[in-house]
Amino acid sequence: MDLLEIKCPICKGTLKVNTASGEVVEHINYEPPKASFEDFLNSRKKGVAWDDKLKKAKEEQARRKAEIEMKFKQAKENPETPDLSEPLRTPLDWD
């Protein structure tokens, strides 16, 4: 008897089908691996690293925002006047 083994993409179980008759001979349920307490603790430790990275990113973003606001304030107080001694060039004049 020739058997065809098919894995279900939904339940991840295995079906063994007789190729001659098309009957399902055997069905094997998928059992996910059991998680251990140590694995859980290790994953929590990795989560702390992500929390630190998120905190650093927020601090960096706040620092950059303050820097941009300071530059904007300085530019607003001391506007630079453009040099209009020579006419402005457009991209069409570049040829």
Identify the H or E element spanning 64. helix 37-77
User: What's the confidence (pLDDT) of residue 39?
Assistant: 83
User: Once rounded to an integer, what is the mean pLDDT over residues 46-62?
Assistant: 86
Q: Select from 25, 24, 18, 15 the least CA-distant residue to 3.
A: 18
User: What's the confidence (pLDDT) of residue 1?
Assistant: 67
Give the 3-state secondary structure of residue 27. strand
CA–CA separation, 83 and 81 (whole Å): 7
Q: Which comes out higher in pLDDT, residue 69 or 35?
A: 69
Distances (CA, A) of 2 to 16, 25, 27: 10, 11, 16
User: Once rounded to an integer, what is the mean pLDDT over residues 61-67?
Assistant: 97
Q: Select from 5, 1, 2, 30 the least CA-distant residue to 15.
A: 5
